Amino acid sequence: MDVYTFLIQVLNGLQYGLLLFLVASGLTMIFGIMGIINLAHGSFYMIGAYLAWAFAAATGSLFSAILLGLVVSTLIGVILEWTVFRRLYHRDHLYQVLLTFGLIMIFEELRSMTFGDDVHSVAIPAVFSAAIPLTDTLSYPVYRLVISATCLVVAMLIYWLIQHTRLGMMIRAGASNREMVQVLGIDIKLVYTLVFALGLALAAFAGMIAAPISTVYPNMGGQILIISFVVVVVGGIGSVKGTLLAALMIGMADTFGKIVLPQIASMSAYLLMAAVLLWRPRGLFAVGGR
């Protein structure tokens, strides 16, 4: 493997890992703070991609499509929390798994009824459609770099929100002692609604920015859900920092696995998970149990 091929694969691994982080960070926050296992989280990746495709077709611009898509997916998140998830907080994980599995099927059916079962593609915005030439035959698409940079900015925003804002303090306090937060006069239900909608909006956002490179197809949420759970477990359930590190590791393992050992490429992420869990059974950054 020459140095340019290596560089391209590093960038691909980075981009895939950062995208995984957007999906997995919401998953880990919703589990770490509210104790909810949300199998329907991947559906929002799919919903985001379809919204990007539909709105881009309607408005002719991916940027407007992403803005509209964020509004719609956040609204869906708020409504879902109010109507469905709020009833699950005090229930057993089995109920959560059953109900959110049902939601996956409902979302897929709604997607099929609304958008059909065809595969669609979304055009890369003209400003980012160029590729940076590396050698005579190799080049790297600008849009993939834009995805990585966008994800990094979002990751920093999440870090700032959780570590340096009062809302972030309330979120962390709520993860440690929900009742105490309430008796201090803070509406924990509102905090939960916000965290939930934010987590789902992140997954949808990942689907939107990935749409131009991954195409838009039925059941695309299922694949990302499984690998996101791997990321969450490797990172340590509830830890956003661990999720970032784990997402990058899984992104690299998956990308290089396809090149170095193509025979076992589909296993590489799971082998990494097994290795990490043998070393640290609660993941890289285990958070205190709830």
Partner 1 sequence: MNHSLLEARGIHTYYGASHILRGIDFTVRRGETVGLMGRNGMGKTTLLKTLMGVVPSHKGEIRINGHVTTRSQPCRIARHGVAYVPEGRGIFPNLSVRENLVMAARPGVGGRRDWTFERALKTFPRLGERLGHGGGQLSGGEQQMLTIGRALMTNPDLLILDEATEGLAPIICREIWTVIGAIRDTGIATIIVDKNFRAISSITDRNVILVKGNVVFEGDREALRSQPEVLKNFLGV
**What residues make contact with partner 1 under the rule CB under 8 A?**
166, 169-170, 172-173, 175-177, 179-180, 182-188, 288
Decide whether 185 or 262 has the Cβ nearer to partner 1: 185
Percentages of the chain per state (helix, strand, coil), in multiples of 5: 75, 5, 20
> DSSP readout, 54-97?
HHHHHHS-HHHHHHHHHHHHHHHHHHHHHHTGGGTTTS-HHHHH
Decide whether 142 or 173 has the Cβ nearer to partner 1: 173
Least distance to partner 1, CB of residue 167, Å: 9
Least distance to partner 1, CB of residue 21, Å: 22
Least distance to partner 1, CB of residue 103, Å: 27
Decide whether 5 or 177 has the Cβ nearer to partner 1: 177
- How far apart are alpha carbons 5 and 123 in whole angstroms? 25
Least distance to partner 1, CB of residue 284, Å: 17
- How far apart are alpha carbons 239 and 28 in whole angstroms? 7
Pairing of strands 139-141, 131-133: antiparallel
Decide whether 62 or 181 has the Cβ nearer to partner 1: 181
Least distance to partner 1, CB of residue 198, Å: 18
Exposed, middle or buried, 156 (CB in 10 Å: 0-12/13-18/19+)? Answer: exposed
Residues in the chain: 290
Decide whether 80 or 287 has the Cβ nearer to partner 1: 287
Least distance to partner 1, CB of residue 174, Å: 9
State whether residue 132 is helix, strand or coil.
Answer: strand
Decide whether 59 or 176 has the Cβ nearer to partner 1: 176
Looking up tokens 């909006």 gives: 201
Query: Which amino acid appears at position 233 of this protein?
Result: V
State whether residue 22 is helix, strand or coil.
Answer: helix
